[in-house]
Structure 1
Amino acid sequence: MNITPLVWGITIAVTIAFFVFEYFAHVRKPHAPTIGESARWSVFYIALALLFGVGIGVVSGWTYGGEYFAGYLTEKALSIDNLFVFLIVMTGFAVPKIYQQKVLMIGIVIALIMRGAFIAVGAALIENFSWIFYIFGALLLFLAYRQAFSHGESDPANGKFMTFVRRVLPVSDEYNGDRLFVKKDGRRFVTPMLLVIVAIGFVDLIFAVDSIPAIYGLTNEAYIVFTANAFALMGLRQLYFLIGGLLERLIYLAQGLAVILAFIGVKLVFHALHVNELPFINGGEPVLWIPEIPIWLSLLFIAATVTVATIASLAKTRSDRLRRPVEVTQDIEDARDPRP
């Protein structure tokens, strides 16, 4: 792709404009959005992302269009996993619902800034060091293992990092509207709202480490990486309120993401072997007999994995919910049974 500085400038300006609009139209006045409001804007942003992908396919060719859609789908799936952690943070800090929009908005903006920095660094590394694909591939395989076998014990609201922050900063005991600082008895305190934002920012940093190598495994185009990330993050705030109850039912999402990350990790290692320059691997020559995984197969695999993980999660939670009344009834009958 030949993306001029003008196109980059317009893209970044439009992205910023969308987030500014979001703030003044929805976030500035604290309120808990309705299901209807969340659904309408979620559909709008998803439709906009799909339309942009079609535009890339028409203008630059469907190879790039396929890379965009594969990247967008991967980033959207990772973003939903991000939402689950946001939910844990909100619950851990007991954030009032009317202020959750502001926290999410700030968190999403932080995520976009961090991912933008990682994208720039990743693009520079890929352009100058072909062996970086080995590092990205190994990192994704490690992250896939961690994702598959993590059991959700970690609590970002009360982990070591937040314990350190609380020790360093004077924190008030209660929220004061959506203010970040409050003055009491002549002393300035930070409110729990600021701690929530710090926790969200820390979570965003961790997720950026996951998401950027993952999408660079699907495309080398920094423009596609940025736009796929931007569109995945747009509408994430509305999606949080729309599927908040559904998040807890996606019990196999972590395993599905682990499969996707492992697949892209293998794809990256295969690509690294194809462009190999390391002297201790095949004498510094490319390993051409290993197949490159085509983008259509990547897109199909990612879509199928997300679908299977979602359907399996909903089926399992529905089965558990239907079985629970039977178990409760059996317990009651056992308690009434006078026999020893």
Structure 2
Amino acid sequence: MGEISLTAWLVTIGLIVGLLALDLVLAALRPHRVGFREAVFWSVFYIGVAVAFGVVLAMWAGPQFGTEYFAGYIVEKSLSVDNLFVFVIIMTTFAVPEEHQHKVLTFGIILALIMRAVFILLGATLISLFSFMFLIFGALLIWTAVQLFRHRDEDPDIQDNGLVKLTRRVLPVTDRYDDGRLVTRLDGRRAVTPLFIVLVAIGSTDLLFALDSIPAVFGVTDEPFIVFTANAFALLGLRALYFLVHGLLDRLVYLSTGLSIILAFIGVKLILHWAHVDIDPRVPEIPTEVSLIVIVVVLVVTTVASLVKVRRDPTARAHAGSLRSHHEEEAGAERRR
């Protein structure tokens, strides 16, 4: 595999920033309810851009880079669908008007990209300095997988979000959206609107998802360029995908189960890699091609099983999953009191 030049980094970042700017301008200049046709167009567009980038990368840097990119992209895309569950919960909880939802999503994607860039830089630095970070990342993913599987039938409590509570405690908050403004006036004083609280909720959620997604993608590649681009292109189409599958998300009843299996698999892969490098080179490693096949198979089986389940039981509904149960959170809050 070849080295990624500074020029390649700058061109790629320029492309991503350009696509983000396009999303932001469209959201700011023309607030409206995003229809099915528009959502399909932009979803196909962003998936096409991501696939085209992967093909160009494979032709330019070699097939190994291409394979690692597509494996990382599929991992991040599957995790981003779970992210959409939480976005739906946030939008519903705060009753965000439809004409402002795509603006919220665009800002949420920008926040997610910034946080992931920071974690990628930190993760790459730690891995280059300490090979045992593969063991730590692997253990973190396995713990996350176990917790997600245990609480797969729950949704996170957005109202109980610590940052949301703190914001409401220290800032005056209005009860109206005021044409999508973040700050308005209440009784002659400056106050934040519910849209500001929504962005705080989405930002803190993005932080939690970054803690899972970055170790996960490092499980299929240790090249920072691929980690960054896989994350960026998976997130870029999130806004359009939200409006496309908004009504279908609750049918993916086994998505959290499938994601927990994928996270556990990647966690084992990272631990085997650490053992191969630091303990004994005879310890087998899982090739990226095998990882790609396993991830795709799990996602396909999860989707088909979900649709079959819903067809047999129309009352079945999917959940985003949670790393802690509400009972544990309530018990922890009680102890703090």
Length-normalised TM-score, structure 2: 0.90
Q: Aligned partners of 1:156, 1:266: CA distance in 2, in Å?
A: 31
* Structure 2: runs of 5+ lacking an equivalent: 317-337
Identity %: 50
Q: Aligned partners of 1:321, 1:217: CA distance in 2, in Å?
A: 37
> 1:194 corresponds to which residue?
196
The Cα shift of 1:153 comes to 4.0
Q: Select 2:281's aligned residue among 288, 307, 313.
A: 288
Q: Aligned partners of 2:271, 2:200: CA distance in 1, in Å?
A: 35
Distance 1:96 1:303, change over 3 A: same
Supply the AA of the counterpart residue of 2:262: I
> 2:228 corresponds to which residue?
226
- Alignment of 1:210 with 2:212, yes or no, is yes
- Alignment of 1:180 with 2:188, yes or no, is no
> 2:50 corresponds to which residue?
49
Q: Pairwise mapping of residues 1-340 of structure 1 onto structure 2 (< 5 A)?
A: 1-150=2-151, 151-276=153-278, 286-321=279-314
> 1:336 corresponds to which residue?
none
Select between 297-306 and 169-178 the one with higher mean Cα deviation. Answer: 169-178
Distance 1:146 1:322, change over 3 A: closer
> 1:338 corresponds to which residue?
none
The Cα shift of 1:322 comes to 8.7
Supply the AA of the counterpart residue of 2:73: Y
Task: Please state whether the residue corresponding to 1:248 is helix, strand or coil.
Answer: helix
The Cα shift of 1:137 comes to 0.4
Is the 8 Å Cα contact of residues 136 and 268 (structure 1) preserved in structure 2?
yes
Supply the AA of the counterpart residue of 1:315: V
Supply the AA of the counterpart residue of 2:26: A
Q: Aligned partners of 2:19, 2:64: CA distance in 1, in Å?
A: 28
Task: Please state whether the residue corresponding to 1:71 is helix, strand or coil.
Answer: helix
Q: Look at both structures and tell me which one has the larger radius of gyration over its CA atoms.
A: 1
Supply the AA of the counterpart residue of 2:66: G
The Cα shift of 1:158 comes to 3.9
The Cα shift of 1:154 comes to 2.5
User: For residues 165-213 of structure 1, what are the alpha-carbon distances to aligned partners after superposition, in whole Å with 9 as ceiling and x for unaligned?
Assistant: 2112111122211001111222111100000000000000000000000
Q: Aligned partners of 1:222, 1:322: CA distance in 2, in Å?
A: 43
Q: Aligned partners of 1:322, 1:124: CA distance in 2, in Å?
A: 47
Is the 8 Å Cα contact of residues 163 and 200 (structure 2) preserved in structure 1?
no
Task: Please state whether the residue corresponding to 2:154 is helix, strand or coil.
Answer: coil
Q: Aligned partners of 2:194, 2:35: CA distance in 1, in Å?
A: 25
Distance 1:93 1:220, change over 3 A: same
Is the 8 Å Cα contact of residues 93 and 157 (structure 1) preserved in structure 2?
no
Distance 1:183 1:15, change over 3 A: same
Is the 8 Å Cα contact of residues 180 and 193 (structure 1) preserved in structure 2?
yes
* Structure 1: runs of 5+ lacking an equivalent: 277-285, 324-340
The Cα shift of 1:159 comes to 3.3
Task: Please state whether the residue corresponding to 2:280 is helix, strand or coil.
Answer: coil
The Cα shift of 1:157 comes to 3.5
Q: Aligned partners of 1:322, 1:186: CA distance in 2, in Å?
A: 49
Is the 8 Å Cα contact of residues 27 and 106 (structure 2) preserved in structure 1?
no
Q: Aligned partners of 2:162, 2:119: CA distance in 1, in Å?
A: 25
The Cα shift of 1:160 comes to 3.9
Q: Aligned partners of 2:228, 2:28: CA distance in 1, in Å?
A: 24
**How well do the aligned residues superpose, as a CA RMSD in angstroms?**
1.4
Task: Please state whether the residue corresponding to 2:190 is helix, strand or coil.
Answer: strand
User: For residues 290-323 of structure 1, what are the alpha-carbon distances to aligned partners after superposition, in whole Å with 9 as ceiling and x for unaligned?
Assistant: 2110111000000000111111111111211299
The Cα shift of 1:105 comes to 0.4
Q: Aligned partners of 1:141, 1:184: CA distance in 2, in Å?
A: 47
Q: Aligned partners of 1:164, 1:25: CA distance in 2, in Å?
A: 32
Select between 255-264 and 152-161 the one with higher mean Cα deviation. Answer: 152-161
Is the 8 Å Cα contact of residues 88 and 157 (structure 1) preserved in structure 2?
no
Is the 8 Å Cα contact of residues 161 and 201 (structure 2) preserved in structure 1?
no
Task: Please state whether the residue corresponding to 2:247 is helix, strand or coil.
Answer: helix
Supply the AA of the counterpart residue of 1:310: T
Is the 8 Å Cα contact of residues 27 and 105 (structure 1) preserved in structure 2?
no
Q: Aligned partners of 2:240, 2:254: CA distance in 1, in Å?
A: 22
Select between 253-262 and 158-167 the one with higher mean Cα deviation. Answer: 158-167
The Cα shift of 1:46 comes to 0.6
Q: Aligned partners of 2:10, 2:159: CA distance in 1, in Å?
A: 37
The Cα shift of 1:58 comes to 1.5
